[in-house]
Amino acid sequence: MLTMQAASFLNPETAFRVRDEIGTPCYVYDEASLRSVAAKVSDFPNAFGLTARFAMKACPNANILRLFKSIGLKIDASSIYEAERAVAAGFDASDISLSTQEFPTDDRLLSLVAKGMMVNACSLHQLERYGMLFPNAKVGLRFNPGLGSGGTQRTNVGGPASSFGIWFEDIDKVKKIVSGHGLEVFRIHTHIGSGSDPEVWVKAVGLSLNLVRSFDAVTVLNLGGGYKVGRMPDEETTDLQAIGAPMREAFERFQSETGRKLHLEIEPGTYLMANSCVLISTVQDLTSTGEDGYDFIKLDTGMTENVRPSMYGAQHPMELLAFDGDTREAHTYVITGHCCESGDILTPAPGDAEALLPRKLVDAKIGDILAIGGAGAYCAAMSTKNYNSFPECPEVMLRLDGSLSVMRKRQTLEQILANETEISF
């Protein structure tokens, strides 16, 4: 078996079978891992009921959506397009909660709301527009509670440096808009970012409950997602029971004080997906910049399939699989992608996309497989599709019986060109 933490489900035989049958690069998701982590999410501590929503922006493949639907998860959509994809995958509109930076006002929104989709207004402007479109309707409010958490500033979605949500000090403006349109605020939504510290989450719950106190009709408190996942062996993974138990106690205290039993919603994405997928790639080339420079591995993947290292300085576990089965000595490499782009580096320093941190692997040969773990969340979903005209790579599910099911075929050149139109010159 692979030794890296994030790929315990994948063995070398399966990795080479994927390459032989489907080719590389290729995402390999593990059904057993997905089911296991979904069960943990469904068991999140709660006092008066729980709705677990999948933040589908993490990985919107319809087969992933259908798998989670079969387990009982609902959907958190970040755009009207995601909401429509969820419906196309079999979800009822009433299973979907929409929180979006780009607020739609066309017939697509009207249709889905009419069918039961609920909306969180994420700004004063959105709340005003929602009230004009749906007077006297129910609405959720996403607030920025003034607190954020995250491994980097770019994974922090709360506090004064974040544009997400209505600033908590604008609550009087909110009440004026709500009253003016006869809206009923049924849900408060907050989301602070990615973190695993129970004390931070408890503080966030306290701030959120204070917001609930301002709206008597609220029956649901949505605390978002952002549960930290350790992709690397030295990184911590959130213990949902550890952070959830004090949350439950806070809900119980709130009920004792106010008589109000709040239903809890959570919206994990990374937690559900990250370590349930490995990106399989092939070593295409090896080069060196001399004694005072670096030794490089060049792959047939890169920022086209995983932009997180280039964008965040994110760390992913990696392991070389020898195509000839040799036992080899250790060697240190900088690993680069296949794009003609100086930023296409897969081994940056942690949190610093512009610095290099070579990885210690085994001595590499052209033709080896390099397996990149932790690739289930914000990789296929957030890749730089078609940069250098590389096609989107396939997504495959490793089934419970060990078989492989293709969930997305490799894109063809014809599909890349499909929306281009010819004009005369």
pLDDT tens digits along 177-216 = 999 999 999 999 998 765 656 778 788 899 999 999 999 9
Mean pLDDT over all residues of the chain?
92
222 burial type by CB count under 10 A (0-12 exposed, 13-18 middle, 19+ buried): buried
Residue 161 located in a structural domain:
yes
Tell me: do 253 and 132 sit in the same domain: yes
Domain boundary among 249, 273, 297: 273
Tell me: do 131 and 40 sit in the same domain: yes
Question: What is the pTM (predicted TM-score) of this model?
Answer: 0.93
Average pLDDT (66-91) is 98
What does the pLDDT look like over 243-292, one tens digit per residue?
Answer: 999 999 999 999 999 999 999 999 999 999 999 999 999 999 999 999 99
In percent, the amount of the chain with pLDDT more than 70 equals 94
Looking only at the bridges linking them, the beta strands covering 395-398 and 74-77 are unpaired
Domain boundary among 273, 294, 316: 273
Give the number of other CB atoms < 10 A from CB of residue 408: 16
| Residue 203, CA atoms < 13 Å, CB-side half-sphere | 14
CA 153, CA 327: separation in Å to the nearest integer? 41
Total domains, the chain: 2
The residues annotated with a catalytic role in the active site are 340
Tell me: do 198 and 305 sit in the same domain: no
Domain boundary among 253, 273, 293: 273
